Structure 1
Amino acid sequence: MIHAEVFAAAVSRFARAGMVLTAAWRGRRHAVVLTTGQILAADPAPIMVSVDRRHQIYSAIMRSRALALNILGDDRTALAANQREHADADEDQLFAAGEWGMSEAGLPTLVDAAATLECHVETTTGIGPHVILACRVEAIRLVEANAALPQAGLASVRA
């Protein structure tokens, strides 16, 4: 189960900087910069994300039913700007802009993201070229130290 304090700490970072949505399918990583995410509730931690179905990441998300929201810290706004600028470039070039790892679930994660939320896609709703993904948060990774969290420094919680 996701702890409400960890979830609140992670989503409070949405407004600080951009977010990089990542997914993987059959060994290929995908990424796109998001400008916003919608929080529905703190327990059981569902979120909504809008994705352009014309982007390569959409297909990977729909096949794997999994995604990661990498919430950037204030010092990573250049990464978001770089990815927006190269949105039509090969995705491998986009991953060259930061240090990336893979989560236990096989999702690309930005090593120094302020927070990473690993999610399972529960339902989808199409609106024009976009699809709204309603997702259940299954794991949260916080990088910054915060004494109010269950663990200081690095908090990693799986549902």
Structure 2
Amino acid sequence: MIAANDFRNAMSLLTSAVNVVTTSGASGDQGLTVSAVCSVSDSPASLLVCINQSSRSHDDFLVNKVLSVNVLASQHETLSNAFASSKFNAEQRFQLGEWTRLQTGSPILKDALVSFDCEIEHIQTMGTHSILICRVVAIHQGQTNAVDQSQEGLVYFNRAYHQIGQVEVI
């Protein structure tokens, strides 16, 4: 059997995109920082999102059955930390960015590299996490600043943030 600490140390060497995943419903706007996101299929367009069951907003996602995945750019490190921290409430977190909404009503970060607006179709429990299979119903590409025509993505590697690549505006 692999010890949990050994597994966490090994996984810290797997580079992951940093995302703020949000939902909206009866409990208001909720969100958290998530690195466990990947594509499932392009037909139908779908994503897999893993959320720790001990997360403060875990149950809100399951009840609302909608979410948005906001892929963060390098300038969003402070936003990522706020959505990962228990020191901020939901209202304080959402004050750190400009938000809009698409089809599901989940908050979409206006200047995210890209945001996927989704309906949760399947939920599977595995260990400490819920695995959400989500159908993408809308996509929002963030707008780059007129002065800075490129953005770098925010990734997490070896327990630290890093910037990667550039997205060129055509």
Whether contact under 8 Å (2:67, 2:104) holds in the other structure is: no
Aligned to 1:157: none
> For residues 83 and 74 of structure 2, what CA distance do their matches in structure 1 show?
16
1:58 deviation in Å? 1.9
> For residues 32 and 141 of structure 2, what CA distance do their matches in structure 1 show?
20
Could you list the per-position Cα deviations for residues 17-41 of structure 1 after superposition, in whole angstroms to 9, with x for gaps in the alignment?
5210000112601010012312122
5+ long unaligned stretches in structure 1: 1-14, 147-152, 154-159
SS of the residue 1:40 aligns to: strand
Whether contact under 8 Å (1:19, 1:33) holds in the other structure is: yes
Aligned to 1:61: 61
Q: Aligned pair count? A: 132
Aligned to 2:90: 91
Counterparts of 1:109-124 in structure 2, within 5 Å, are: 109-124=108-123
Query: Which structure's residues are more often strand, by fraction?
Result: 2
SS of the residue 2:36 aligns to: coil
Whether contact under 8 Å (1:32, 1:87) holds in the other structure is: no
| Higher radius of gyration, 1 or 2 | 2
Q: What RMSD in Å do the two structures reach over aligned CA positions?
A: 2.3
Aligned to 2:45: 45
TM-score, normalised on structure 2?
A: 0.68
5+ long unaligned stretches in structure 2: 1-14, 150-168
> For residues 81 and 124 of structure 2, what CA distance do their matches in structure 1 show?
28
1:107 deviation in Å? 1.0
1:16 deviation in Å? 8.2
> For residues 59 and 102 of structure 1, what CA distance do their matches in structure 2 show?
21
> Using a 3 Å threshold, how does the CA distance of structure 1 residues 128 and 16 change in structure 2: closer, same or farther?
closer
Whether contact under 8 Å (1:19, 1:35) holds in the other structure is: yes
TM-score, normalised on structure 1?
A: 0.72
